[in-house]
Amino acid sequence: MTPTTPRDPWFDPVRRRPAPVALVALAVLALLAWRLGPRPDLAAFAVLGLAGTCLAFIDAELLRLPDPLTLPLLPVLLALLGLAAATGQDGSLTGALYGMGALLLVYGVLWFIAPSQIGLGDVKLAPSLGLALGWLGAEAFVTGVVAIHVLGGLWGAALLATRRAGRGSSFPFGPFMLAGTLAAVLLHG
Would you say 188 and 136 are in contact if contact means Cβ atoms under 8 Å apart? yes
For the chain, what is the mean pLDDT?
92
State what percent of residues in the chain have pLDDT above 90.
79
Distances from the Cα of 87 to the Cα of 39, 59, 79, 138, angstroms: 10, 35, 13, 22
Which residues make Cβ contacts (< 8 Å) with residue 67, sequence separation at least 6? 121, 124
pLDDT for residue 177 is more than 90: yes
The DSSP secondary structure of 5-47, one letter per residue, reads PPP-GGGHHHHH-HHHHHHHHHHHHHHHHHHH-S-TTHHHHHH
pLDDT for residue 24 is more than 70: yes
**Which of these, 82, 3, 87, lies nearest to 44 by C-alpha position?**
82
Please give the pLDDT value at position 117.
84
| CA dist., res. 23 & res. 38, Å (int) | 22
Q: 3-class DSSP state for residue 143?
A: helix
State the distance between the two ends of the chain, measured CA to CA, in whole angstroms.
Answer: 51
pLDDT for residue 6 is more than 80: no
Largest Cα span, the chain = 57
Please give the pLDDT value at position 94.
94
**Which of these, 31, 20, 148, 134, lies nearest to 85 by C-alpha position?**
134
Q: Where are the domains of the chain?
A: 11-188
The C-alpha angle 189, 148, 164, rounded to 5 degrees, equals: 145
Q: pLDDT per residue over 34-84, tens digit each?
A: 999 999 999 999 999 999 999 999 999 999 999 999 999 999 999 999 999
Q: What is the mean pLDDT of residues 96-125?
A: 95
State what percent of residues in the chain have pLDDT above 70.
95
Which residues make Cβ contacts (< 8 Å) with residue 160, sequence separation at least 6? 166, 167
- Hey, which of 120-134, 150-164, 168-182 has the most confident mean pLDDT? 120-134
Q: pLDDT per residue over 113-155, tens digit each?
A: 988 888 999 999 999 999 999 999 999 999 999 999 999 989 9
